[in-house]
Amino acid sequence: MINGAQALMESLKREGVERVFGYAGATICPAVDALAATDIAYTLVRTEQNAGHMASGYARMMGKPGVCMVTSGPGATNLITGIATAYMDSIPMVAITGQVQSYLLGRDIFQEVDITGACAPFIKHSYLVKDANDIPRVVKEAFHIASTGRQGPVLIDIPIDIQQQMIDPVYPDSVDIRGYKPSVKGNDNQIKRVAASISAAQKPLLCVGGGLFSAKAQEELITLCESARIPVVTTMMGLGLLPRNHPLNLGMIGAFGTPTANRALNTTDLLIIAGARAADRAVTSPKEIASRTKTVHLDVDPAEIGKNFSTTVPVVGDVKVILDQLISHHPKAQSEAWIADLQARRQAETQPAAAPGAGSVTPSYLMRTLGEQLDDDACVCVDVGQNQIWAAKHLPMKHGRFLTTGGLGTMGYSLPASLGVKTAVPDRQTVVVCGDGSFQMFENELATLKAMGTDVKIVMVHNGVLGLVHQIQYSSYSGPFGVDLTGSPDFEKLAEAYGIPGKRISDDGQVDSAIHDMLTASGPYLLICDVDPMTTTSMT
Amino acid sequence: MTQTISVLVENRAGVLNRITGLFARRAFNIESLAVGVTDDKNISRITIIVDSGNNVVEQVEKQLNKLVDVIKVRTLDEKKLIGRELIIVKVSTSTKTRQDVANLCQIMGAKIADISSTSMTLELSDTPDRVDLFESLLRPFSILEVARTGVIAVQKGSGKI
C-alpha cells in the first residue's frame, strides 16, 4: 500500500510530468515529500502566483499542461491570479492545492479556504478529492480536460488526510467523461461552404489568434494562406504565427494594431476568424463588421461562436484539423489585386527610427533593434502595459514566440513565464520585455532565476511611471494621479544584489551596442532603458 | 420571452453551485430553477426558466455545455411542453371565510393540506400561469406564507432530451 500523495506522484509521472512549480506549506507537505522521492524536477517560486505563470510559460512551449502545486489557504488564494491568467489565455495547466483535513472542512480552521469555490468562474474544471482511491482517476481526467478541446486550467484540491490515506491505487488507462466530448473534426458541409466562400471572395482575410498555437496549426495556416491567397492579420495572442516579413502577414489588428491590418479588417468581403475570440481589444466594432461582411468562425469552443461576433458560417472543431480539411478542398480566392494593394500599404508603413541625442530611448526603435538582433527562434516574454504594446507593434517576430497575457493582462507575467519557458526549452534564447512597474511585480523571482542558473535577458522600459495608465489619465481623465513610481530602487544595484549584471542607457545612440552586449553576455542580464514618461504608445 | 432549459447533470456535490455561478458570472437572469434526481440516481435534472432573447439563450446553452458535469442541455419547445409547478400557500381564515377558500380550491383543483381554527394550508400543482392565478385569487384572504417549487417540464410526445 502507498499513501495518496505517492499515488498522486505516480499519476503525474504516468501523465509525463517532468517538472512541478511550487511553494510548500503545511497541508501540501505529504505531496512534497512524495515528490522528493521521484525524479520529477521541482522549482521553488517566491510567490504562488508565479508558480502559475511559470507553468503557463512551460505549457506554451511544451504544448502540454504545466503543473503547479501550492499549499492551502493563502497559498491557494495567491495562485488564483495564475489560474485566472491561464484561463483567459486558454493555457493548459494542472494546479494542485493542499487542503485542511477533510473532516474539518467548512469550520474555518487555520489556512482553510474554499478554493474550488473561489476559482469556479475562471477555471475549466476542478476537483475536491475526498477519497485517495479517486486520485489516479482524477489526475487522468484533469490532464485530459486541461489539454483537450479549448485548453485551460484544472484544479485538484486534496485535503492533507487524503494525501496520507493508505490505498492500493488502481491507475486507469483511459478517460470517459460523459459530459465532456470536445469536437475534433469540422462539419464537412460547413467546410465545403467555407471553401466555396473563399473561392468566390475577392477580399478574403484570415484573422488568427492564440488558438492556432494551442492547436499547433502554424504549418496549416501557412499552407492555407499561401495556397488560397488569403492575407493574414493576427490578434496579440497570435503574434508570431507568421514571421513579420511573410508577404501575406499584415500584422496585428486592434487599437494598437497596424494601419494596414485594420484597413484590411474594415474592407474585407470574407472574414475568417480562426482560433480567436476577437474580444474588445482586437475588434472594437464587431457588429459593424459583421453587418457588412460575410464572417466565418473556426473555433474549438462552440461558445465562442456568436459570442462577440455574429457569424455567417460557424465551424467547430480542432483548428488544425479544420484547416487541413479546408486545404483538401483547394480553395483559391480571386484576391491578387487586394493583396497587391495591402502589400503596398504595408511597405509604406513607417519604420521606427532612432533619434540619438534626445536623452531618452525611443521605445519603438528599441523594440525594432532588439527584434533584429534576436535569434530567429527566440522567445520573447512580454509583460503588460506600454512595454507590451511597443513590443507587439514594433518587435519584428521571425520564427520565435511572443508570449504575453493578452486575455487577463496580468502585470508581472513576463519573468516567471520566461522561467517556465527555460525549463521547457533551455537552449532557446529567451528575453523578457517589461516596464519598471511590472518589474516590481516580479522582482522577487530574480532569486528563482538565479537559483535555476538559467539565462534570461531582461529589457526594462524605464520611465518612472505606470506608463499606460499615465497615458490614459492624460488623454481621458483629469491628469496623472497615483502612477508615479517614486521610491523605486536603483535597479542596477538591485540586480547586482542578486548577482545579475546590468546596464542603464538613456539614448538611442547606445541601443544597438547595449543590446549586443546583453545578448552576448553569459547568463542573465538586465538592460534598463530610460524612456521619457510623456512618450505614448501612439508615437512611432 | 420566457424559455425553458432542461439540463441533465452529474448528481455530485458542487454541481448546482457551478451552474448558478455561471448564470451569475455571465449576467444571465434566472426566473425559476428546480432540481431533482432522475430515474438514474447518478443524474439530476435541472429545469431553468430564463426570460431572455434567443441569442442569450443560445449562449446560456453553450456555456452550460462547457461545464464538465453537464451531460445534456436542451431548450424545450414552449408550444409542446408540459410544465408544472407546485405551490403550498397558507392563508389566514375565520369561520366566515373558510367556505369561500374551500370553494376556490374546488374551482382551481387545489387540495386542502392542513386546516386550523385560524388558517388553511392549500396545495396546487398546475401550470405556472394557473398557479399565479390561484395565488392572486387567495390574496384577499390574507396570505401568511407561500412556497413554490419552480417549474419542472418535459416535452410532449415519446421523445426524450
Q: Which domains occur in chain B, in start order?
A: 2-75 (3.30.70.260), 81-154 (3.30.70.1150)
| One domain, residues A372 and A493 | yes
| One domain, residues A236 and A156 | no
Confidence category of residue A378, pLDDT binned at 50, 70, 90: very high
On whether any CB of chain B is under 8 Å from the CB of A145, the answer is: yes
Confirm whether A309 is domain-assigned: yes
* Residues on chain A touching B71 (C-beta within 8 angstroms): 178-179
Task: Name the percent of chain A lying above pLDDT 90.
Answer: 92
Distance from CA of B17 to the nearest CA of A (A): 8
On whether any CB of chain A is under 8 Å from the CB of B38, the answer is: no
Distance from CA of A537 to the nearest CA of B (A): 32
Q: By residue range, what is the domain housing residue A94?
A: 2-167
On whether any CB of chain B is under 8 Å from the CB of A179, the answer is: yes
Q: Do B68 and A128 lie within an 8 Å CB cutoff? A: no
| One domain, residues A27 and A156 | yes
Distance from CA of B85 to the nearest CA of A (A): 28
Asked if residue A397 has pLDDT above 80, the reply is yes
Confidence category of residue A284, pLDDT binned at 50, 70, 90: confident
Distance from CA of A312 to the nearest CA of B (A): 14
Q: Kindly report the CATH number assigned to the domain that includes residue A226.
A: 3.40.50.1220
The CA distances from residue A391 to A34, A385, A502, in Å, are: 42, 10, 21
Q: Give the DSSP letter string of A421-479.
A: HHHH-TTS-EEEEEEHHHHHHHGGGHHHHHHHT---EEEEEE-SB-HHHHHHHHHHSSS
Q: What pLDDT, on the 0 to 100 scale, is given for residue A341?
A: 97
Q: What pLDDT, on the 0 to 100 scale, is given for residue B54?
A: 80
Question: Can you tell me the mean pLDDT for A132-146?
Answer: 98
Confirm whether A468 is domain-assigned: yes
Q: What pLDDT, on the 0 to 100 scale, is given for residue A292?
A: 85
Confidence category of residue A77, pLDDT binned at 50, 70, 90: very high
Q: How many domains, chain A?
A: 3
Name A472's Cβ contacts closer than 8 Å, sequence gap at least 6. Answer: none
Best to test chain A binding among B57, B60, B68 (most A CBs inside 10 Å): B68
Question: Can you tell me the mean pLDDT for A135-141?
Answer: 98
Contact (Cβ atoms closer than 8 angstroms) between residue A190 and residue A314: yes
| One domain, residues A383 and A516 | yes
Asked if residue A149 has pLDDT above 90, the reply is yes
* Residues on chain B touching A180 (C-beta within 8 angstroms): 68
User: Closest residue of A to B21, CA-based?
Assistant: A121
Task: Name the percent of chain A lying above pLDDT 70.
Answer: 100
Q: What pLDDT, on the 0 to 100 scale, is given for residue A147?
A: 97
User: Closest residue of A to B22, CA-based?
Assistant: A121
| One domain, residues A288 and A428 | no
Residues 148-177 of A with CB under 8 A from B: 150, 177
CB-nearest partner of A125 from B59, B63, B68: B68
On whether any CB of chain B is under 8 Å from the CB of A140, the answer is: no
User: Closest residue of A to B71, CA-based?
Assistant: A179
| One domain, residues A376 and A234 | no
Question: Can you tell me the mean pLDDT for A328-355?
Answer: 94
User: Closest residue of B to A307, CA-based?
Assistant: B59
* Residues on chain B touching A116 (C-beta within 8 angstroms): 14
Q: What pLDDT, on the 0 to 100 scale, is given for residue A434?
A: 98
Ranges of beta strands (E only) in B11-142 are 30-37, 43-51, 70-75, 81-92, 111-115, 119-126
CB-nearest partner of B69 from A179, A301, A302: A179
Per-residue model confidence as pLDDT tens digits over A224-238: 999 999 999 999 999
Last residue of a domain, one of A110, A135, A167: A167
Confidence category of residue A321, pLDDT binned at 50, 70, 90: very high
Q: What pLDDT, on the 0 to 100 scale, is given for residue A436?
A: 97
Per-residue model confidence as pLDDT tens digits over B18-55: 999 888 888 888 899 999 999 999 999 999 999 888 88
* Residues on chain A touching B65 (C-beta within 8 angstroms): 302-303
On whether any CB of chain B is under 8 Å from the CB of A117, the answer is: yes
| One domain, residues A143 and A270 | no
Confirm whether A174 is domain-assigned: no
Last residue of a domain, one of A324, A348, A372: A348
Q: How far apart are CA A352 and CA A363, in angstroms?
A: 9
Q: Kindly report the CATH number assigned to the domain that includes residue A54.
A: 3.40.50.970
Question: Can you tell me the mean pLDDT for A378-384?
Answer: 98
Q: How far apart are CA A364 and CA B152, in angstroms?
A: 61
Last residue of a domain, one of A167, A199, A225: A167
Q: Residue A423: how many CA atoms within 13 Å on its side-chain side?
A: 30
Q: What pLDDT, on the 0 to 100 scale, is given for residue A540?
A: 62
Confirm whether A540 is domain-assigned: no
Q: Do B17 and A124 lie within an 8 Å CB cutoff? A: no
Q: What pLDDT, on the 0 to 100 scale, is given for residue A467?
A: 95
pTM of this prediction? 0.94
Q: How far apart are CA A524 and CA A456, in angstroms?
A: 5
Per-residue model confidence as pLDDT tens digits over A511-537: 999 999 999 999 999 999 999 999 999
Q: Do A124 and B68 lie within an 8 Å CB cutoff? A: yes
How would you label A223-232 residue by residue, b for 16+ Cβ within 10 Å and e otherwise?
A: ebbeebbbbb
Q: How many CB pairs under 8 A join A and B?
A: 38
**Between these two residues, B159 and A271, which has the higher pLDDT value?**
A271
User: Closest residue of A to B23, CA-based?
Assistant: A121
| One domain, residues A414 and A515 | yes
Question: Can you tell me the mean pLDDT for A308-320?
Answer: 89
On whether any CB of chain A is under 8 Å from the CB of B2, the answer is: no
**3-class secondary-structure state, position A189:** helix
Question: Can you tell me the mean pLDDT for A354-364?
Answer: 92
Distance from CA of B33 to the nearest CA of A (A): 20
- Length reported for chain B: 161
Distance from CA of A331 to the nearest CA of B (A): 31
Confirm whether A492 is domain-assigned: yes
| One domain, residues A136 and A200 | no
Residue closest to B7 by CA, chosen among B55, B41, B44: B44
Confirm whether A439 is domain-assigned: yes
Confidence category of residue A244, pLDDT binned at 50, 70, 90: very high
Q: What pLDDT, on the 0 to 100 scale, is given for residue A368?
A: 96
Per-residue model confidence as pLDDT tens digits over A424-456: 999 999 999 999 999 999 999 999 999 999 999
Pairing of strands A66-70, A93-99: parallel
Q: Kindly provide the ipTM of the predicted complex, given to two decimals.
A: 0.85
* Residues on chain A touching B22 (C-beta within 8 angstroms): 121
Confidence category of residue A277, pLDDT binned at 50, 70, 90: confident
On whether any CB of chain B is under 8 Å from the CB of A124, the answer is: yes
Q: Do A306 and B59 lie within an 8 Å CB cutoff? A: yes
**3-class secondary-structure state, position B43:** strand
Q: Residue B18 burial by CB count (10 A; 0-12/13-18/19+): exposed, middle or buried?
A: buried
| One domain, residues A204 and A336 | yes
* Residues on chain B touching A302 (C-beta within 8 angstroms): 62, 65
User: Closest residue of B to A120, CA-based?
Assistant: B18
pLDDT mean across residues, chain A: 95
Centroid of chain to Cα A95: 17
| One domain, residues A91 and A202 | no
Confidence category of residue A160, pLDDT binned at 50, 70, 90: very high
On whether any CB of chain A is under 8 Å from the CB of B14, the answer is: yes
Confirm whether A381 is domain-assigned: yes
| One domain, residues A339 and A368 | no
Asked if residue A138 has pLDDT above 80, the reply is yes
Distance from CA of B7 to the nearest CA of A (A): 11
Task: Name the percent of chain B lying above pLDDT 90.
Answer: 79
Per-residue model confidence as pLDDT tens digits over A20-45: 999 999 999 999 999 999 999 999 99
* Residues on chain B touching A306 (C-beta within 8 angstroms): 55, 58-59
Confirm whether A34 is domain-assigned: yes
Q: Do A302 and B17 lie within an 8 Å CB cutoff? A: no
Q: What pLDDT, on the 0 to 100 scale, is given for residue B55?
A: 81
Residue closest to A251 by CA, chosen among A385, A346, A389: A346
Per-residue model confidence as pLDDT tens digits over A477-508: 999 999 999 999 999 999 999 999 999 999 99
Per-residue model confidence as pLDDT tens digits over B94-110: 999 999 999 999 999 99
Q: What pLDDT, on the 0 to 100 scale, is given for residue A300?
A: 95
